[in-house]
């Protein structure tokens, strides 16, 4: 039998790239002879991260639409036409048996041309509120794997499978790693640790909050493990010290999560899924600057179940110190939040998504 040929498209941020890589790795584990091609946006981080994971990648000249009139917006129609044309060319040359989209700029043109060509296709919608690209694609793909309930608001009900979002396998069990993690980051084992994560590129408002609140956090006797994101590292690296560890990017997230007592995070879909898996007390600060305000919707879905604290970015000055102090001083509340968010985890997401991919491959035969 010929080996399966799989195209995976997703990128722009780690939240789209790592699920794509996790899905590809699980397909490869089950089908060692399978051939893979990733398709991403030519100037985004997937062009580095995917080859580092051992997969080939092609880039499309594509970007998102900004909310204001910019040169990039004026160029968008030309980029879209170029990307559709190149996607058709890639599909014709590679001849995939199935195409998988995990979101990001490139997945729209690639999945569109795959469905036009009649190739079985699956999208993985990570957020509680679907973006416009996936809503449009949902009408044409064979399956839509989702992480939240009520997604029939956006997709045909018969195509939906609730699987959850893929997470890195090393996060599935971080129990027993706390002591090792604190030693790795040279943290005091007797003090509480606050982990701050604003996404792979960084979050300006979260970084500014941490800068402003460092004296307060020190007053509480806490240490800070702070991922600034690569865009902001140079601004804050001078703050690195014995009790504040400043990093552009954290490669071993299992260790960072294991070290933490409280996590302060944006509410991107992949981050939310990871935080459900690791089960630590979390304060979400959703970005208000994303399409359809989907981060707030993601965080509210967890807050509604009693699994996290949500502070709107506009309310940080009024609420952060009060809510943080209440949490750091109350171990039972921290444990209760961590236990509750953990009940919302879907740890078999990657395997369940690949089951759906294999069903499409079987149906094609």
Confirm whether residue 250 is marked as ligand binding. Answer: yes
* One domain for residues 160 and 177: no
* One domain for residues 230 and 321: yes
> How many domains does the chain divide into?
2
* One domain for residues 153 and 193: no
Instruction: Name the pLDDT band for 74 (thresholds 50, 70, 90).
Output: low
Q: Give, in degrees to the nearest 5, the angle at Cα 121 between 104 and 108.
A: 30
Instruction: Name the pLDDT band for 76 (thresholds 50, 70, 90).
Output: low
* Domain hosting residue 10, numbered range: 5-166+347-364
Instruction: Identify the CATH number of the domain in which residue 197 sits.
Output: 3.40.50.2000
* One domain for residues 352 and 339: no
- Res 15 pLDDT > 70: yes
* One domain for residues 157 and 202: no
Confirm whether residue 87 is marked as ligand binding. Answer: no
β-pair type (5-9, 309-310):
unpaired
* One domain for residues 66 and 176: no
Confirm whether residue 59 is marked as ligand binding. Answer: no
Higher pLDDT, 116 or 69: 116
Confirm whether residue 200 is marked as ligand binding. Answer: yes
Q: What are phi and psi of 28, to 5 degrees?
A: -65, -40
* One domain for residues 52 and 118: yes
Looking at residue 221, its pLDDT comes to: 95
pLDDT digits (tens, 9 = 90+) for 193-229: 999 998 777 899 999 999 999 999 999 999 999 999 9
* One domain for residues 232 and 262: yes
Confirm whether residue 168 is marked as ligand binding. Answer: yes
Q: What are phi and psi of 43, to 5 degrees?
A: -115, 20
For 25-30, the CB contacts below 8 A with 24+ separation are 25/53, 26/166, 26/350, 26/351, 26/353, 26/354, 27/354, 27/357, 30/354, 30/358
Confirm whether residue 343 is marked as ligand binding. Answer: no
* One domain for residues 69 and 158: yes
Looking at residue 192, its pLDDT comes to: 96
Place of tokens 């305000």: 293
Confirm whether residue 295 is marked as ligand binding. Answer: yes
- In sign, the C-alpha dihedral spanning 174, 176, 180, 186 is positive
Cα–Cα distance for residue pair 220/224, rounded to 1 Å = 11
Residues near 199 by beta carbon (within 8 Å), at least 6 away in sequence: 13, 14, 15, 229, 266, 268, 271
Please tell me the pTM assigned to this model: 0.83
Confirm whether residue 124 is marked as ligand binding. Answer: no
């Amino acid at each position: 039998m010929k080996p399966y040929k799989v195209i995976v498209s997703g990128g722009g941020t780690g939240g789209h790239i790592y699920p794509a890589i996790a899905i590809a790795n699980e397909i490869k584990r089950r089908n060692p002879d399978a051939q893979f091609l990733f398709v991403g946006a030519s100037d985004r981080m997937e062009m580095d991260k995917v080859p580092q994971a051992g997969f080939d990648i092609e880039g499309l000249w594509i970007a998102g639409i900004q909310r204001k009139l910019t040169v990039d917006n004026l160029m968008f129609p030309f980029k879209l036409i170029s990307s559709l044309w190149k996607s058709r060319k890639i599909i014709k040359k590679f001849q995939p048996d199935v195409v998988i989209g995990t979101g990001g700029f490139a997945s729209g043109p690639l999945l569109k041309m795959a469905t036009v060509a009649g190739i079985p296709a699956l999208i993985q919608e990570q957020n509680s509120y679907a973006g416009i690209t996936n809503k449009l694609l949902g009408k044409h793909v064979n399956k839509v794997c989702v992480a939240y309930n009520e997604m029939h608001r956006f997709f045909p009900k018969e195509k939906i499978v609730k699987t959850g979002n893929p997470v890195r396998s090393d996060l599935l069990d971080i129990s027993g790693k706390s002591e090792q993690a604190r030693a790795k980051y040279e943290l005091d084992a007797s003090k509480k640790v606050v982990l701050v994560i604003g996404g792979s590129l960084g979050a300006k408002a979260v970084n500014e909050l941490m800068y402003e609140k460092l004296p307060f956090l020190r007053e509480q006797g806490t240490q800070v493990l702070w991922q600034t994101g690569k865009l902001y590292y140079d601004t804050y690296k001078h703050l690195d010290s014995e009790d504040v560890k400043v990093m552009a990017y954290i490669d071993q997230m299992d260790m960072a999560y294991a070290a933490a007592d409280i996590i302060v995070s944006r509410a991107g879909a992949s981050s939310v899924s990871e935080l459900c898996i690791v089960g630590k007390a979390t304060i979400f600060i959703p970005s208000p600057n994303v399409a359809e305000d989907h981060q707030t919707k993601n965080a509210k879905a967890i807050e509604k179940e009693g699994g996290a604290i949500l502070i709107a970015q506009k309310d940080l000055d009024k609420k952060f110190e009060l809510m943080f102090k209440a949490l750091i001083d109350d171990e039972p509340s921290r444990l209760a939040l961590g236990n509750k968010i953990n009940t919302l985890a879907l740890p078999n997401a990657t395997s369940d998504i690949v089951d759906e991919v294999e069903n499409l491959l079987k149906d094609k035969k």
